[in-house]
């Protein structure tokens, strides 16, 4: 289905294996406009981070992928895309209640539960980005979760109400469009500060684990490269790339 009134080019599919895989194939086979969105009612092979699958009941949730072509962005600044995608979603969810935060690097949490997962797949050309596919799953109206995913929650479980998927999607894309323009205008520092302020468990001592075991530390900053820097009770700093550290929930 096509949406003539929708301010972004959108293709909605009743079913697909994965909106991100569909979008990638589309880009490989034809010229595809930046900000094209593929959304679906149901994914048969939804992909998550760390090789996990992403499960979602048919027609209940937002499942979409968005194409960006940030050829102006140096590869070592690609984390800014994770920041603006996460912020656009978190700020839209903030309009429905409190308790939303970004769990580094780019999960959206409500208190200690996960409401949204983001999988960003970047392609490079030389030392710049060429294409970025942001795949986003947000639990909106699902009432019960059966998969092994840890701590899922939906917006309906939080608010007690059913929500309109299309208007939430449109609002998120408008927010993202405006953040994307800020990146193009070079406002990286202010975006990173806003991202830091939105982080889950920042500046409080909390349990983490890394390859050496469990420890207590607090988040003190996120480097522009995306590295997470934590400090233990003695002030000793350690920095981690994605997948090198886990939160103990």
49 binds ligand BTN (CB under 6 A): yes
Minimum gap (Å) between residue 134 Cβ and ligand BTN: 8
Binding residues with ligand BTN: total (CB under 6 A): 20
CB–CB of 108/93 below 8 Å?
Answer: yes
Minimum gap (Å) between residue 190 Cβ and ligand BTN: 26
46 binds ligand BTN (CB under 6 A): yes
For residues 213 and 232, what is the distance between their CA atoms, to the nearest angstrom?
14
Residue 7 tokens read as 């301010």
Q: Where are the beta strands (DSSP E) in the chain?
A: 10-13, 37-40, 62-68, 100-103, 107-110, 113-125, 128-138, 206-210, 213-222, 228-231, 237-240, 246-247
119 binds ligand BTN (CB under 6 A): yes
For residues 105 and 228, what is the distance between their CA atoms, to the nearest angstrom?
8
Residue 39 tokens read as 């959304």
Minimum gap (Å) between residue 246 Cβ and ligand BTN: 13
Residue 198 tokens read as 């939105």
Minimum gap (Å) between residue 107 Cβ and ligand BTN: 6
Q: Contact with ligand BTN (CB under 6 A): which of 36, 65, 88, 139?
A: 65
90 binds ligand BTN (CB under 6 A): no
Q: Contact with ligand BTN (CB under 6 A): which of 8, 10, 19, 152?
A: 19
Cβ closer to ligand BTN: 150 or 160?
150
What is the phi/psi pair of residue 186, to 5°? 85, 20
Q: For residue 21, what is the DSSP state?
A: H
Q: Contact with ligand BTN (CB under 6 A): which of 41, 91, 107, 232?
A: 107
Site residues for ligand BTN per CB under 6 A:
18-20, 43, 46-49, 52, 54, 63-65, 107, 117-119, 135-137
């Amino acid at each position: 289905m096509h949406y003539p009134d929708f301010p972004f080019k959108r293709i909605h599919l009743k079913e697909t294996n994965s909106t991100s895989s569909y979008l990638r194939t589309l880009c490989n086979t034809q010229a595809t406009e930046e900000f094209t969105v593929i959304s679906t009612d149901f994914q048969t092979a939804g992909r998550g981070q760390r090789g996990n699958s992403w499960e979602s009941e048919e027609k209940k949730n937002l499942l979409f992928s968005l194409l960006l072509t940030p050829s102006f962005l140096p590869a070592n600044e690609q984390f800014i895309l994770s920041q603006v995608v996460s912020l656009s979603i978190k700020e839209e969810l903030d309009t429905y209640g409190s308790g939303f935060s970004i769990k580094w690097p780019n999960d959206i949490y409500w208190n200690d539960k996960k409401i949204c997962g983001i999988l960003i797949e970047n392609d490079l050309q030389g030392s710049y980005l060429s294409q970025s596919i942001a795949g986003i799953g947000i639990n909106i109206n699902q009432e019960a979760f059966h998969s092994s995913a840890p701590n899922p929650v939906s917006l309906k479980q939080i608010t007690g109400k059913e929500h309109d998927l299309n208007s939430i999607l449109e609002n998120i894309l408008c927010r993202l469009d405006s953040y994307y323009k800020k990146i193009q205008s070079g406002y990286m520092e202010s975006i990173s500060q806003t991202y830091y302020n939105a982080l889950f468990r920042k500046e409080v001592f909390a349990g983490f684990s890394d390859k050496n075991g469990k420890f207590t530390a607090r988040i003190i900053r996120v480097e522009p490269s995306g590295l997470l820097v934590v400090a233990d009770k003695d002030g000793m700093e350690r920095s981690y790339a994605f997948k090198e550290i886990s939160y103990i929930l």
